[in-house]
């Protein structure tokens, strides 16, 4: 048994069934289809001083989805923990896509890193990153992802966001006008 599955089973046997269940289900549902991050982006897009942040968030979300969900998941085709161990009973509807990387975590970090880097105060940035982290943890808690799926989602989402922010910062240096 892999250490990944050992963590899942430890949570399932030792922690699930506590007061955390409704909280983890709610957090995970906020990540379904990126609804939390899309909602935040839709609010920000109507506030002129935050419009650019919203656009960068949407670009990061789209790029993370393309790379993580459409490309990597279909290349790796890792089965989810509850498929490998049918004894794991889910608290949510079973996801139908592959496990690696966690799409919830990719979208959360793709958005949270943009929000954190553009936040006016460090506290706000840490708040968004904490939300993204808890989103990833909820997926392991609910037995729909392995810890390595979530870790890969954190890295991929963060890299996508940093790439989008870098492009935005360096767009004038990349595309030079010809004389």
Task: Give the residue with greater pLDDT, 175 vs 69.
Answer: 69
Q: Coil, strand, or helix at residue 11?
A: helix
pLDDT category of residue 178 using cuts at 50, 70 and 90: very low
Is the peptide bond between 101 and the residue preceding it cis, with omega within 30 degrees of 0? yes
Distance CA 175, CA 123 (A): 35
pLDDT in tens, 122-166: 989 999 999 999 999 999 999 999 999 999 999 999 999 999 999
Tokens of 141: 């808690």
Distance CA 103, CA 64 (A): 8
Of 131, 72, 136, give the one whose Cα is nearest residue 101: 72
Phi, psi of 145, deg, nearest 5: -145, 150
Average pLDDT over residues 26-41: 94
With tokens 């949510």, the residue in question is 92
132 contact partners, CB below 8 Å, separation of at least 6:
105, 108, 109, 111, 112, 113, 154, 157
What is residue 78's DSSP assignment?
A: P
Tokens of 126: 């840490």
pLDDT category of residue 179 using cuts at 50, 70 and 90: very low
118 contact partners, CB below 8 Å, separation of at least 6:
52, 53, 56, 165
Distance CA 129, CA 112 (A): 5
Cα 68–Cα 72–Cα 75 angle in degrees, nearest 5: 160
Q: Is the pTM of this model over 0.75?
A: yes
Flag whether pLDDT at 49 surpasses 90.
Answer: yes
Of 119, 129, 102, 104, give the one whose Cα is nearest residue 165: 119
Flag whether pLDDT at 63 surpasses 70.
Answer: yes
């Amino acid at each position: 048994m892999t250490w990944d599955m050992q963590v899942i089973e430890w949570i399932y046997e030792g922690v699930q069934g506590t007061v955390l269940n409704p909280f983890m289900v709610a957090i995970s549902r906020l990540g379904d289809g990126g609804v939390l991050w899309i909602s935040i982006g839709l609010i920000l897009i109507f506030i002129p001083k935050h419009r650019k942040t919203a656009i960068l968030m949407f670009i990061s979300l789209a790029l993370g989805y393309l790379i993580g969900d459409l490309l990597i998941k279909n290349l790796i085709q890792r089965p989810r923990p509850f498929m490998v161990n049918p004894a794991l009973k889910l608290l949510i509807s079973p996801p139908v896509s592959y496990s690696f990387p966690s799409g919830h975590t990719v979208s959360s970090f793709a958005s949270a890193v943009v929000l954190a880097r553009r936040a006016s105060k460090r506290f706000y940035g840490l708040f968004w990153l904490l939300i993204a982290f808890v989103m990833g943890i909820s997926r392991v808690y609910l037995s729909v992802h392995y810890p390595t799926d979530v870790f890969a989602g954190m890295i991929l989402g963060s890299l996508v966001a940093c790439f989008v922010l870098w492009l935005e910062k360096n767009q004038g240096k990349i595309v030079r006008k010809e004389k």
